[in-house]
Amino acid sequence: MIEQTLSIVKPDAVRKHVIGEILRRFEANGLRITAAKMLHLSPEAAARFYVVHKDKGFFGSLTKFMSSGPILVSVLEGENAIAKNREIMGATDPAKAAAGTIRRDFGTDVEQNAVHGSDAPDTARWEISFFFGQLETHPG
Ligand code: ATP
Ligand code: MG
């Protein structure tokens, strides 16, 4: 099934100058980039995006990190895009991520783990609409 998913190159990976390498891996694995932009979240906006984690112990640290510098948000489209993107990203903790995954290669720790990817169709739809309006996406 053709799906769309939201990807974020997080502030740590932007600081490491690996935006191009990360987007290259998506395209090399058959995912099309149908929307993209760079922005710098405020702490309040990061808290809105990660509202599902508001009761977790790491919430304050996570929103501070996600607002610590610019990010690159994009929409990836393709066959099973949600699962495929998460496979390319690797496990949340870079130390446990498989060899050759983005998080293994560019993540620092379980928080500063280089990328975000939606985890289900309903969260993908919500996350895409959080960042992109209809005129900013170019499906196909
Ligand atoms: P993401 O949602 O970013 O794609 P994920 O689904 O693998 O990653 P979640 O459990 O949804 O992981 O956590 C969201 C984000 O919160 C993680 O990507 C990471 O940046 C941060 N995080 C998760 N667990 C921890 C933790 N134990 N300590 C600090 N930060 C964490
Ligand atoms: Mg998640």
Structure confidence by residue, pLDDT tens digits, 12-66: 999 999 999 999 999 999 999 999 999 999 999 999 999 999 999 999 999 999 9
Pairing of strands 32-39, 71-79: antiparallel
Residue 51 near ligand 1, beta carbon < 6 Å: no
Of all atoms in ligand 1, which is nearest to the CA of residue 117? 4
**Which residues lie at CB < 5 A from ion ligand 2?**
119
Tokens coding 125: 């739809």
0.95 cut: is pTM over it? yes
What is the predicted pLDDT for the residue at 47? 98
CA of 110 to the centre of ligand 1 (A): 7
What is the predicted pLDDT for the residue at 107? 98
What is the predicted pLDDT for the residue at 140? 82
Residue of 111, 115, 128, 131 to test ligand 1 pocket, by largest number of atoms within 8 Å of CB: 111
Place of tokens 């808290």: 47
